Structure 1
Amino acid sequence: MKRKFHNPYYDIAKKYRDNGNPDSAFRVFNQAKEFGIENKDSLSTASSLINMAILLTNAGDYFGGQETSIEANKYLNEDDTNHHYYLGSNYNNLGIATYNLKDYNNSLKLYDSAIKFSDDSLDTRMYLNNKAMVYQEIKDYKSALKIYGQILAKTSKNEQEYARVLTNIAKTKWLEDSNHNPVPDFLKSLQIRKKENDLWGQNSSYAHLADYYILKQPDTALFYAYNMYTVAQTVKSVTDRLEALQKLIKLSPPKETKHFFNVYEKLADSSQNARNTAKNQFTLIRYETEKSKADNLILQKDNDGKRYQIIILAFGIILILFTGTILYKKRKQRIELEAQNSIRDNKLKTSQKVHDVVANGLYRIMSKLDNQETLKDSPIVNEIEELYEQSRDLSYERPKSENHNFHEKIFDLLKSFASESTRVILVGNSAPLWEKVSELAKDEIEHILQELMVNMGKHSKASDVVIKFEQVQQKINIYYSDNGIGIADKPRPKNGLTNTGTRIDAIGGTITFDTKVEKGLKIQISFPVS
């Protein structure tokens, strides 16, 4: 990063960052920030905060990344050209964090600000590429292709950048038109990346090729998925290894699927723990800095004994509040979900009673009156008929729900049943899987899965629950398995299971209980896509 200031902590922090030690880098950048504030060096302070914000965003703490970037902007002057480079970098980080929080409109505006203050052509093309990715995400493919075309025209001397843009153009054209064949451009980019020894680029090419062939030629997709996994291991990218393992689980023969699933499960757990540790560590570093300032004031007014008592008390309160808040939010979410589902079921039952009792009763009265010549054309018959139509329309009303991000809704629902004694693992629950599923089917499947998880929580005593989602031709299959006590015989048709059977019948699906396994329970749910 460009700079025109002297800060003894800054270079040390950069070395930690470049050597892959984000915790140490964050801590020393925080010291560099404090040094800048003490010496009234706004550029030094801003640059340190920007680096801290980028580290937070990279660790998945997008709210923390936003907050720190906004703080950095307070020390930058848009009218000072020496600050423009830092403004461009900072707005780009804000754009990335906002994009990952799915606030796409504001993300586009932030990338525009990054481009406005960029004084380097390579940086400008990077910010443009990020903006194009937002358009691709919101399916505005024409705008995305227009930007990629602008970038491509200026990348003739940079082979790696040319390969990246060529790949993005091919993928966008394929997303825009499923009949478009992106393979020639994908392979051309792959050859360039091999020649340039660009392992990260090769990883991207193998991922795109596997995605393209996954439905057309599964064997070819499996070949590219293996290549992606190998390269991801070489570059030590946990995210890409997880993505490759998901493809291998879906495409591999049954014997190999179990192996890849076990690898995926261990890697996913360790990755999540590492990300949580990093975010907590960054939070703790900033907390310790603020606490240190408070301690210095206390030392001036009180003795050592009181100081330690306050520190211990403050730490205990924070720990209790932090733990209590998490437990409260989790319990509140589950109660709200159960209440919403109860209200929805009651509305459906009420509407059905309206149809069975009121509408059908009115229809019988109308039939009798129609058979009496003296009353056949009476206004009262018309009024009864109008009341019948209204009651029938009311009975057909169903609660409506907005399920645009249904995969996230299912993720939140199933993960809410995880606890210290029970792990819940999801495989294949992606946005594309649910795109063509009807709202009715989504609603019923949500209730079915909730019922299964409630039964699991009450009766199974399972420590591991795995739910796998897949689409085979025009059917969605959901495989549930746990290592609990299982069901000794056929499931007894209590209210929950009866409702589950009714719901799956309503969408033309089937549900199968496998009670012959040695331990635990396996259930398969299948239903048509539309």
Structure 2
Amino acid sequence: MSSVFAQKNEHHRYDDSISALNKEIKELIEIQDYEEAISALEKILVFYERANDSIGVAKSNYKLGFYNKKLDNYELAFKFYNDSFKIYSSLKDSIQAGRRLMEMSNIQRTLGDYIGSENIAIDALKYLEGTTDYKNIAGTYHSIAISKKEREDLNGAEEWNKKTLNLLKDTIIKKKIGKSNIITFLNTKANIQVKKQNYTEALQQYSALVKDTIIKNNNLQIARIKDNLGFAKWLNDSLDSESILLMKEALILRQRMDNVQGLIAGNVHLAKYYSSSDITKAIEYANAALENSKKLKNPISKIEALELLRSLKSRLNQRVDEEFDLYVSSTNQLKALQNKNRNIYEVTKYDFDKKEKENLKLASDNAQKDLQISKSQNQNLLLGFGILLVSLISIIVYYIQKQKARQKLKLSQLKERYQTETRLSKKVHDEVGNDIFYLMTQLENDPSLLEKNGLKLLDGLQNIYSKARDISREYTDIDTGDAFPEELLSLLNSFGNKEIKIITKQLEPTFWTPIDADLKSEVFRIVQELLTNMKKHSEASVAAVTFKKEARKLMIQYSDNGVGVGDEKLTLKSVENRIQVLKGVLTLDAQPDEGLQVSIIIPI
């Protein structure tokens, strides 16, 4: 009894401590004392870790990331977000895991690591898409659009910006995303047009935003739009008198709000404006941008101001030694920050990929157990198989007749078609016709077989059906459009039956969209040949086929648990030829009684 009482007292003390610290943090945040708030949060994190409270630890890590970012402590913020992501992902909380990745993507983008930011954002969408968290889905689309814009992939930036804006067509989703975010997305749309030098379209967008009631009372956004509008007007027409008025009006607004990031951008724009008419004044604005950038711990703003200042001073033959030294140190600091954060996430991603492979193996083992159970069950009807078989053979015969009717093609095409028909006819005769004749002979000689060995006859019809289906599929056109994922999945499913389990991994809906139609067709044939080889030679009960994209490469992984063979006996010459034409790489791993593993990498 005393032990239970002691535990209750300990629990109460624990709750009281957490409650007191949370109250303290709230008061500190109200006065924007983020450093003390972080110190209190670290104490709460220790409490949750001792109590093995995973959700409490995940939330504390998130808050530590948030407030460290407020102080421009980007490395710590990234680390805490990453720790929070790992916990939420293990808890299968897709929305929270996706949000942490989006925040990590934003940090890398802020640090100028646009490729790293884009890769993390793509990973975030794997968690967010399919949920109702439209605000963060839109934010992730936007992050990708910005990264592509900064990397000068302007068509890609425009495409992702359109994906963002398309979400606004739904009134309910638009309300969830919020007015301020909508302004940002529309401003980005205009910024992309400026980069593409489509100034007329950009000016129309900026002007519409300035007049729109959506921007009312939002001085931060008003200053940003007016500054961008003025700069775009100057780029479009250097004699436009309104351009300088708009940029200076925006700068005054930002000074009143002490908007440091906005002051950097505004001063840079004004320095560029005066660079062709008054270099001395341009240098003043560039110096102002540099001084403001020193208030932030983000080196990228400092580097941009230094590059501009060095260029302007050089035109006046002024010494730039101090600026050069600061530029070098800032660049080194930025690269170190980018690499540290990249390494943090790469380790996490490696661990997650490793776990995913282990789960795939576990799924394969479970599938084998299911196969053993399914062998004792047969719920298909003999009549159903017979009807399907006749239908498929009719399709094949119709195809042959249709091919013979086309006699006005070129000689080379006729010859090729003749060879195809001969091969197809022989397959129908040898593989389907002979099996049907053998089955009919058995029934004719002993009609009682239907009652005695119904299941065995059913297995015979199943095999005939599979052969007819495979022949039909081998000579059927492939849909490489929007229906390709279903076409490929249908192929995989067609090789599965009660004897063979085919395993694959679900892909995101847009996985195949950017891939060329010809390459899709080749991928289809490669997979078909791998599975055909498996079915004919491997004696496998489980085969796994997975697809992955990485660094402009398509990776196909195939494995089965068949008998395995030596490399010299593999019947994959056709696959090798296709891979060679595609300038890809094929790796085989096959040992007797150890199954077959095939790794294919194709550039896309």
TM-score of the two chains, using structure 1 as the length reference: 0.50
Normalization by structure 2: what TM-score?
0.44
